[in-house]
Amino acid sequence: MLFDKLEGDLDQYSSASMRSASEKQLKQTRSHYYKFISAMKKAEAKIDPVLNPVRNQVLFLKHNLNARAIASLQTELGNIETDVSRLIRDMELSIKEADQFISALKAK
């Protein structure tokens, strides 16, 4: 992994102050990276629970396309819309975390 390589490179510094500064930056970057990955994994884990009801509804419509079936989906549509809104909010939080991580990298 990139961090392992960068950590190994620290031993090549002959300047203690430069090594220390580089090591500090590496630790901060690693911390931001793991927060970013964690946020992305949390968002990813929420995708299937939201999409599964949609998949079920599509399959149901495919097999039972009639007025009564469509009317029965109205309640489920509200639930799906709520789940999608929640997913979008979580994805936006993940994107914000990624933007902060990238901004932190650019600032160094």
Please check the confidence at residue 20 and state whether its pLDDT lies above 90.
yes
Determine the Cα–Cα distance for residues 59 and 73; give it in Å rounded to an integer: 12
Amino acid at 37: I
Number of H helices, E strands in the chain: 4, 0
pTM of the predicted structure, to 2 decimals: 0.52
pLDDT digits (tens, 9 = 90+) for 48-87: 888 888 888 888 877 776 766 677 777 778 888 888 899 8
